[in-house]
Chain A
Amino acid sequence: MHLSETVNTGFFFLAPWIIFAPVVGLLVNIIFGGWFLKRSWGEAAVGTVASLASGIAFAVSALLAWSLSAAHGEVVVVPFAEWIHIGSLQLDWTFRVDTLSVTMMLAVSGVGTLIHIYAIGYMHEDVRFKKDEKRYQRFFVFMNLFITMMMLLVSSDSYLMLFVGWEGVGLCSFLLIGFWYDMDTLGRPSWANSNAANKAFIANRIGDFGFLIAGFIMFWAFGSFQFDEVFTQVGAIAPGIITAITLFMLVGVTGKSAQIPLYVWLPDAMAGPTPVSALIHAATMVTAGVYLVTRSAPLYSTVPAAQYVVALTGALTALFAATIAVGQYDIKKVLAYSTISQLGFMVAAVGMGAYVAGMFHLVTHAFFKALLFLSAGSVILGLERGHHHLSHHEGHQGHEGSHHEEVRRTEPVEVFDPGDMRNMGGLRKTMPVTFWLYVFGTLALAGIFPFAGFWSKDEILLDASLHYPDIYWILTLAAFLTAFYMGRQIWMVFFGEPRHEAAAHAEESKPIITIPLMVLAALALLGGGLNLPGAHTLGHWLEHTLGEIEVPEFSLMVAGVSTALALAAIGISWLVYGRNPLKAEQKDPLKKPLGFLFTGMENKWWVDEGYKWLILDNYVRLSKFLAEVIDWRFWHDWFHEKIIAGTYNWLSNIALNKYADQQGIDAFANGLGEWTKEVSASLRRVQNGFVRSYALSVLLGVVLILGYLLLK
């Protein structure tokens, strides 16, 4: 490791350890994990190693942040290794430590560590409900690999290294969505989870394709991938090229950050275990797109048209996903659409040039959405425990008579969905800790004062109201719906009477699960302190990287409107779902008044079906056409069989065999033989066996030769 002059002060030399700590963690778990798991303390050991690895990455990130503030926020570049040296392209593996990357590192490793700790408890139960305890080890290896890749993404100094991390987190996402690859979310044998993983991977590939094109154009125009080299040349490049780069980059962002039109993979990604949903599909990986746009701020700032497209994409996604979230019944699906919606807020923010607001919302969202997902995981575990308890109880009764047991075995296994909110209700009493944690997350997400979400969402809305009134209205409507669907969720899950036996017997989760949640809840409450109006701590911190940033004045109007709308939305949700709690088997009370609209929300506006009809079916049709008509009938049957094989057969059979071979060469050879036979048959008459006639021939020959010699 060779260090440049600038990094000799502070802890910058530790920068590579943000990657190597999780690498060491995953290696330890790969090599010794199986050995650990054979012991009674094995799961604790595997989980502790993984959490420690992530925790060390967090500690290093914190040290980097401290050193950075001591160095007055100057960008520090820590060269680590030679990477690609081809001609004029000189790319090294370099760690870029600046205020933006450190912010991301802290968010990723901080939330990541809490989720690792939570996962120790969660996966302990999950592997038992799914009956494959050996996968415990694999889970933590993947989680550490994800932290590694995400750190690579945020710490890179060039677009190419960023792309390596970008693909790496995509891989981890695929591996973890398909973690229970041989079953569906209810544990029945099926390819559902595996298909969800494929869907995520393929949708991301489409986005990555856009990112790649952006990279190609960038290298063609700028001759470099390195951030500083690219950004200093921005003025010299035609705006049209920069617009192309930024728009293709937006395609990558819509894939990774789940924006219209590529967001469809994220709801299906809920097939992964809940800590995965919290870490990858809510808090960190999906924000990579937001980070990318923020990082490319010098590019985006020069092309307002592209900025507007980004902002509009984000705003429309925010509203569209919020409407779908209203009509969902699965507790994690609601949160998934909520995540898409909140990512829309962030993308809209960075599109409008409000990079600080976007990053602020990214960090606070990481806190409260991780909290919500993990609490939802706790709820699901609680219901599974209740259901397990119930069936165990029944089984115990049946044990008294052996014939009862026989009967029980032949019964079809009851399909119980522990994530369906229609199976819940009244969990406030059975799971009080989780309830309060969930309320904290909900208030933060809904944007209620003084929770973190209030401050960050308000800043986005404030920026929008100043520059883009149309986007402001879209986002405000989305914020209203956000509060509404979260209120609906709270009333449906925690209030009223249990709608299923399992909900009535739900049990509270252990401290290993609830304590990380309490930390997150505290962050969700206090996270707004990062960037309070007036102080703008985060804004001034990021200024070192992003340059001068406009700091809009806190507007009581905007804050008042959004808070009033959020409170109104929660009030309406109480009127609909809280006042008259849902009964078992009862239809959603919104179904009647909203009619078609609600059916649309329930069915995700048939976007998946639309994609199937528009893209998948045509794609399959095209593939079938290519396979059957072009490949088989045209190439195989016609071209190969008829043209090539037919011509060859004709040539060899008719032309060569019949004419050239049989009638040419054969005839010549046979004719030669025949002729030789005939000639020899006539010649053999000379060999009559009479010595005296031979002697006469000799005499005649001599006479002839002598006659010739004499007469010539």
Chain B
Amino acid sequence: MVPEIYYITLSAILFTMGALGVLARRNALIIFMSVELMLNAANLAFVSFANTFQQLDGQIIVFFVIAVAAAEVAVGLALIVAIFRSKHSIDVDQMSNLKG
């Protein structure tokens, strides 16, 4: 039996990598993938805690998260395609039209 601290630690590492990916990269697709990484880090934490406390709530939440993530991917990819069509770039730093 692998101790749960490993799962949590892996989850934290994955979340940190995802967060750094979102903050550090300029490519919209990479940012998108980093967001997926953070979501799945959260999923991992949910299932490990569900297992530890022997409760199904965590498992169920994970299904919701997967479903929402799928919807998000659909919308997000469509946005990225639309941005690319108008700007011929997916560099997020160039999308600064709403600058104050």
Stretch touching chain B among A75-83, A618-626, A680-688: A680-688
A685: chain B residues within 8 A (beta carbon) = 100
The reply on B5 being an interface residue by CB < 8 A is no
Contact A687 B93 (CB under 8 A): no
Q: Mark A678-698, 1 if CB is under 8 A from B, else 0.
A: 000001111111111001100
Q: Are B26 and A692 in contact (CB under 8 A)?
A: yes
Is residue A699 within 8 Å, beta carbon to beta carbon, of the partner chain? yes
Q: By the criterion CB–CB under 8 Å, are B99 and A689 in contact? A: yes
Given the known interface contacts A696-B23, A699-B19, A699-B23, the answer about A691 and B100 at a Cβ–Cβ threshold of 8 Å is: no
A455 to B36, CA, bound (A): 146
| A686-B100 in contact (CB<8A) | yes
Which A residues touch B92, using CB under 8 A? Answer: 690-692
B52 at the interface (CB under 8 A from A): no
Q: 0/1 per residue, A356-397, Cβ < 8 Å to B?
A: 000000000000000000000000000000000000000000
- Contact at B23–A689, with CB atoms within 8 Å? no
- Within residues 664 to 712 of chain A, which ones have a CB less than 8 A from any CB in chain B? 683-692, 695-696, 699
Q: Which residue of chain A has the shortest Cβ distance to B24 in the bound complex?
A: A692
* Cβ-based interface call for B13 (8 A): no
Kindly report which residue of chain B lies nearest to residue A680, judged by CB atoms.
Answer: B100
CB of B89, distance to nearest CB on chain A (Å): 13
Find out whether the CB atom of A689 lies under 8 angstroms from the CB atom of B26. Answer: no
Name the A residues within 8 Å of B2 (CB-CB): none
Q: A692–B26 Cα gap in the complex (Å)?
A: 8
Residues of A contacting B98 with CB < 8 Å? 687, 689
Task: Provide the bound-state CA to CA distance between A683 and B100, in Å.
Answer: 9
Distance A687 CA – B23 CA, assembled complex (angstroms): 16
User: How distant is B38 from chain A, measured CB to nearest CB, in Å?
Assistant: 10
Q: Please pick, from A683, A686, A690, A696, the residue contacting B96 in the complex, using a CB distance under 8 A.
A: A690
> What is the size category of the interface that chain B forms with chain A?
10 to 19
Query: Does any Cβ of A come within 8 Å of B95's Cβ?
Result: yes
Let me know if A691 and B95 touch, CB within 8 A.
yes
A376–B92 Cα distance when bound, in Å, is 127
Q: Which of A687, A692, A695, A696 contacts B99 (CB 8 A)?
A: A687
Inter-chain contacts of A695 with B (CB < 8 A): 22-23
Q: Which of B11-32 contact A (CB under 8 A)?
A: 19, 22-24, 26, 31
State whether A689 touches B22 (Cβ < 8 A): no
Nearest residue (CB) in A for B25 is A692
> Is B86 located at the chain interface by the 8 A CB criterion?
no
Asked if residues A688 and B99 are in contact (CB atoms below 8 Å), the reply is: yes
Nearest B residue to A684 via CB reads B100
Min Cβ gap B90→A in Å is: 11
Q: Which residues of A contact B54 (CB under 8 A)?
A: none
Chain A residues contacting B93 (CB-CB under 8 Å) are 690-692
Determine the chain A residues whose CB is within 8 A of the CB of B31 once the complex forms. Answer: 692
Q: How far is the CB of A354 from chain B (nearest CB, A)?
A: 117
B9–chain A nearest beta-carbon distance, Å: 18
Distance (whole angstroms) from the CB of A282 to the closest CB of chain B: 108
With beta carbons under 8 angstroms apart, the residue of A688, A689, A692 that contacts B97 is: A689
How many angstroms between the C-alpha atoms of A684 and B92 in the bound complex?
20
By the criterion CB–CB under 8 Å, are A692 and B22 in contact? yes
Among B77-98, those with CB < 8 Å from A are 92-93, 95-98
Contacts of B19 in A (CB 8 A): 699
Q: How far is the CA of A690 from the CA of B96 in the complex (A)?
A: 6
Shortest distance from the beta carbon of A677 to any chain B beta carbon, whole Å: 13
Distance of A695 Cα from B92 Cα, bound (Å): 11
What is the CB-to-nearest-CB distance from B72 to chain A, in angstroms, rounded to a whole number?
15
Q: How far is the CA of A688 from the CA of B99 in the complex (A)?
A: 5
Cα distance, A699 to B24, chains bound together (Å) = 13
Closest to A696 in B: B23
Tell me the bound Cα distance from A689 to B26 in angstroms.
13
Docked CA distance A533–B98 (Å): 132
Query: Considering the chains assembled together, what is the distance between the CA atoms of A687 and B22 in angstroms?
Result: 18
Bound CA–CA A58/B96 (angstroms): 118
Tell me which residues across on chain A come within 8 A of B26, comparing CB atoms: 692
A511 to chain B, nearest CB (A): 120
In the assembled complex, which residues on chain B have CB atoms less than 8 Å from the CB atom of A689?
A: 95-100
Q: How far is the CA of A354 from the CA of B22 in the complex (A)?
A: 135
A691 to B24, CA, bound (A): 11
A695 → B minimal CB distance (Å)? 5
A233 to B53, CA, bound (A): 121
CB distance from A690 to the nearest CB of B (A): 6
User: B22 to A688, Cβ gap below 8 A?
Assistant: no
Set A687, A692, A699: member contacting B100, Cβ < 8 A: A687
Residue ID in chain A nearest B93 by CB atoms:
A690
Instruction: Give the residues in chain B near A683, CB-CB below 8 Å.
Output: 100
- Bound CA span A18–B47, Å: 128
The digit string for B35-76, where 1 denotes a CB below 8 A from any CB of A, is 000000000000000000000000000000000000000000
CA distance A690 to B100 in the complex (A): 11
Bound CA span A695–B26, Å: 12
Bound-complex Cα distance A390 to B22 (A): 135
CB distance from B98 to the nearest CB of A (A): 7
Q: Flag if B95 contacts A692 (CB, 8 Å).
A: no
Residue of A nearest to B35 (CB): A695
Query: How far, in Å, is B41 (CB) from chain A's closest CB?
Result: 14
Distance to closest chain B CB from A578 (angstroms): 127
State in angstroms the CA–CA spacing of A689 and B99 once bound together. Answer: 4
Output the residue of A684, A695, A699 with the most chain B CB within 10 A: A695
Q: When chains A and B are docked, how far (Å) is the Cα of A692 from the Cα of B20?
A: 10
- Expressed in whole angstroms, the Cα–Cα distance for A19 and B60 within the complex equals 118
User: What residues of chain B lie closer than 8 Å to A699, measured between beta carbons?
Assistant: 19, 23
Cα distance A268–B23 in the bound complex, in angstroms? 118
In the bound complex, CA of A690 to CA of B31 (Å): 13
| Residue picked from A687, A688, A690, A691, most chain B C-beta under 10 Å | A691
Bound CA span A690–B95, Å: 7
* Residues of chain A contacted by B23 (CB below 8 angstroms): 692, 695-696, 699
Which residues of chain B are near A686, meaning CB under 8 Å?
A: 100
A515-534 near B? 1/0 per residue, CB < 8 Å: 00000000000000000000
In the bound complex, how far is the Cα of B24 from the Cα of A688, in angstroms? 16
CA distance A690 to B22 in the complex (A): 12
Residue on A with the closest CB to B26?
Answer: A692
Nearest-neighbour CB distance to chain A for B77, whole angstroms, equals: 17
Question: Which single residue of chain A is at the shortest CB-CB distance from B92?
Answer: A691
Task: Give residues 311-352 of A contacting B (CB, 8 Å).
Answer: none
A681 closest partner in B (C-beta): B100
Which residues of B are found within 8 Å of A684, using beta-carbon distances?
100
Q: Kindly state the separation between the CA atoms of A688 and B98 in the bound complex, as whole angstroms.
A: 8
**Least CB distance, A400 to chain B, in whole angstroms:** 116
**Cα distance A692–B35 when bound, in Å?**
12
A-B interface, 6 closest residue pairs, ranked by CB to CB distance from nearest = A689-B96, A687-B100, A689-B99, A684-B100, A691-B92, A695-B22
* 11 pairs, CB–CB < 8 Å, chain A vs chain B: A687-B99, A688-B100, A689-B96, A689-B99, A689-B100, A690-B96, A691-B95, A692-B26, A692-B93, A695-B22, A699-B19
Q: A688-B96, A691-B95, A695-B22 are known contacts; what are 15 more A-B pairs with Cβ within 8 Å?
A: A683-B100, A684-B100, A686-B100, A687-B99, A688-B99, A689-B96, A689-B99, A690-B92, A690-B96, A691-B92, A691-B93, A692-B23, A692-B92, A699-B19, A699-B23
